[in-house]
Amino acid sequence: MVPPEVKVISTLFSVFLVLWTGAALFATIKPKTFWRITQGWKAIREPSTAYFVFSRIGTAICAIIGLLLLIQPYLH
């Protein structure tokens, strides 16, 4: 039998991973909108296209990691 503390921590970790993956997917699909929400309020001008390309690559990697961590318990 699993102790209740472990179930609570497991649930909180799953919620964190869902939020992490959702934010990473949103940033991958709409990098300019994500930049405007998170960084645009303090910028004088919009960054170059290369910034958004590398941002999209990085957030896609984070989304893949999040998805793998979410489905990992079901792979055994």
pLDDT tens profile 16-48: 999 999 999 999 999 999 999 999 999 999 999
pTM over 0.75? The answer is yes
Structure tokens at 10: 């497991």
> What per-residue confidence (pLDDT) applies to 2?
83
Q: Compute the average pLDDT of residues 46-56.
A: 96
**What separation in angstroms does the CA of 40 have from each of 35, 62, 63, 67?**
6, 21, 22, 28
